[in-house]
């Protein structure tokens, strides 16, 4: 991959691999978190959720750091640094002897994984524009949508035949292969003369602009609370479907089904957003999300927290379809007023929305009580908060 051949198949596949590492590192784990928590002596059944949320916590911190680092150090060194942390975290998880140790490893793993996710997109932006960039990103998004559908099945097979520690061996191998592939086969895409010195003051100023701008702040909080609903699902899905509904053998299939709802939404959004606009699509999607959650909450309460499997499955599929329309649009709207400081603002918005998601979704997930009520009520409550903050932002825009 030398010279200007940055649209080669090899480059596209490498970027797709780097971008997919986050989803792979989360979704492959889901079938195994109950077994891991039990074997490592977790004190509470709900503690298994921390295997997911600590990864997101590391990801949140890394999102804030790696973007500015890559602008100062270059893309390749920054990704390799991140992959080194990812490998270290994988090793700690692999050799964990107690539950706190694996949580430390997952935090470090998440911190490392944020680098390839963020900086690989910057690599594409460095060398491409317009249709060429769209071509690369369309393939990347296709891989991004496929990983959640396939990863839990891989995790289930590994858990069944060789045990959960081999999942981390797989993560370690992928991280090493990606790092070597990048270092020896990919040219640096950011020349030295285009790099900018690392300045903490610039990051602080960008944070101030995001916090002071109603549109940026409102939609950042909205993205965080909608993502928080997704965190609730990720944290409790194994408990709900494998244990509450007895679907352990089919957990991966259910997860793929729900991921399909979000994948379909992304494709629909790409077709409709130019016709109807981000705001109108987001408005109706959020209303659909709220209506679905209100109905599901009433039904769940009337049925003692255990509605039929077909009902909860249909509700989650449609909810993820609605949230799939919201994720990309909310982030894009939040970035609209930030053109002058787009790079720094993207780091602030991504980190802040992730932090909100971890705090809200992580807390609600810990309320799991053997029914679906905390899950559905969490979706409804966070949907209401999202509606309130985005309406507040739009009122300021209209003024």
Q: Give the whole-angstrom CA distance, residue 35 versus residue 58.
A: 23
pLDDT for 362: 93
CA neighbours closer than 13 Å in the CB half-sphere of residue 397: 16
Q: Give the whole-angstrom CA distance, residue 145 versus residue 131.
A: 21
Average pLDDT over residues 393-399: 81
pLDDT tier for residue 5 given thresholds of 50, 70 and 90 = very low
Global pTM? 0.88
Judge residue 55's burial from the number of C-beta atoms within 10 Å of its C-beta, 0-12 exposed, 13-18 middle, 19 or more buried: buried
**8 A C-beta contact, residue 230 and residue 357:** yes
Position with higher pLDDT, 345 vs 358 = 358
Q: What are the two backbone dihedrals, phi and then psi, of residue 245, each rounded to the nearest 5 degrees? A: -100, 5
Q: Both ends of the chain: CA-CA distance in Å?
A: 51
Write down the mean pLDDT value for the chain. 87
Structure token pair of residue 365: 């997930």
Q: Which of 3.40.50.720, 3.40.50.2000, 1.20.1250.20, 2.60.40.420 is the CATH number of 1-196?
A: 1.20.1250.20
| pLDDT tens by residue, 40-77 | 999 888 999 999 999 999 999 998 888 888 888 888 99
pLDDT tier for residue 246 given thresholds of 50, 70 and 90 = very high
Q: What is the sign of the dihedral through the CA atoms of 91, 94, 96 and 97?
A: negative
322's CB contacts (< 8 A; 6+ apart) are 265, 285, 286, 288, 289, 292
| pLDDT for 398 beyond 80 | no
Q: Where in the chain is CATH 1.20.1250.20?
A: 1-196, 199-399
| pLDDT for 342 beyond 70 | no
Of the listed ranges 124-128, 212-216, 390-394, the least confidently predicted one is 124-128
Q: Scanning the structure block, which residue is given the tokens 């797989």?
A: 170
CATH class of the domain comprising 199-399: mainly alpha
241's CB contacts (< 8 A; 6+ apart) are 247, 248, 250, 251, 254, 255
Average pLDDT over residues 105-126: 88
Helix, strand, coil fractions of the chain, as percent rounded to 5: 85, 0, 15
**8 A C-beta contact, residue 167 and residue 32:** yes
Q: Give the whole-angstrom CA distance, residue 70 versus residue 183.
A: 15
| pLDDT for 8 beyond 70 | yes
pLDDT for 2: 45
pLDDT for 183: 92
| pLDDT tens by residue, 118-129 | 888 778 777 665
Q: Give the whole-angstrom CA distance, residue 232 versus residue 282.
A: 21
| pLDDT for 314 beyond 80 | yes
| pLDDT for 274 beyond 80 | no
Q: Give the whole-angstrom CA distance, residue 213 versus residue 337.
A: 8
Average pLDDT over residues 225-247: 92
| pLDDT for 186 beyond 60 | yes
């Amino acid at each position: 991959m030398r010279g200007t051949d940055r649209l080669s198949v090899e480059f596209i596949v490498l970027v797709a691999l780097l971008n997919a590492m986050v989803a792979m590192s989360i979704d492959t784990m889901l079938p195994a978190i109950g077994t891991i928590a039990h074997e490592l002596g977790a004190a509470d059944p709900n503690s298994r959720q921390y295997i997911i949320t600590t990864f997101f916590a590391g990801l949140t911190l890394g999102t804030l750091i790696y973007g500015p680092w890559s602008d100062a150090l270059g893309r390749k060194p920054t990704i390799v640094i991140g992959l080194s942390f990812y490998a270290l975290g994988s090793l700690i998880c692999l050799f964990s002897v107690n539950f706190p140790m694996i949580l430390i490893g997952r935090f470090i793993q998440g911190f490392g994984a944020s680098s390839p996710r963020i900086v690989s997109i910057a690599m594409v932006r460095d060398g491409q524009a317009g249709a060429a960039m769209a071509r690369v990103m369309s393939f990347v998004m296709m891989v991004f949508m496929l990983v959640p559908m396939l990863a839990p099945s891989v995790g289930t097979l590994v858990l069944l035949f060789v045990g959960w520690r081999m999942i981390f061996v797989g993560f370690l191998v992928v991280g090493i292969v990606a790092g070597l592939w990048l270092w020896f086969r990919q040219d640096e895409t950011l020349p030295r003369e285009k790099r900018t010195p690392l300045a903490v003051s610039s990051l602080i100023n960008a944070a101030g602009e995001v916090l002071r701008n109603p549109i940026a702040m409102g939609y950042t909080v909205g993205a965080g609370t909608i993502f928080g609903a997704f965190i609730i699902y990720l944290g409790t899905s194994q408990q709900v479907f494998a244990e509450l509904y007895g679907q352990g053998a089919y957990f991966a299939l259910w997860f793929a089904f729900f991921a399909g709802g979000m994948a379909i939404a992304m494709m629909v959004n790409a077709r409709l957003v130019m016709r109807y606009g981000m705001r109108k699509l987001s408005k109706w999607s959020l209303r659909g999300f709220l209506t679905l959650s209100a109905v599901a909450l009433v039904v769940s309460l009337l049925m003692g927290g255990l509605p039929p499997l077909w009902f909860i499955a249909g509700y989650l599929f449609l909810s993820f379809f609605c949230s799939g329309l919201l994720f990309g649009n909310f982030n894009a709207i939040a970035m609209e007023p930030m053109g002058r400081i787009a790079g720094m603002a993207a780091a602030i918005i991504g980190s802040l929305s992730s932090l909100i998601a971890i705090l809200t979704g992580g807390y609600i997930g810990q309320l799991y009580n053997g029914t679906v009520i905390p899950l559905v009520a969490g979706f409804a409550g966070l949907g209401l908060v999202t509606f309130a903050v985005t309406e507040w932002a739009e009122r300021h825009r209209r003024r």
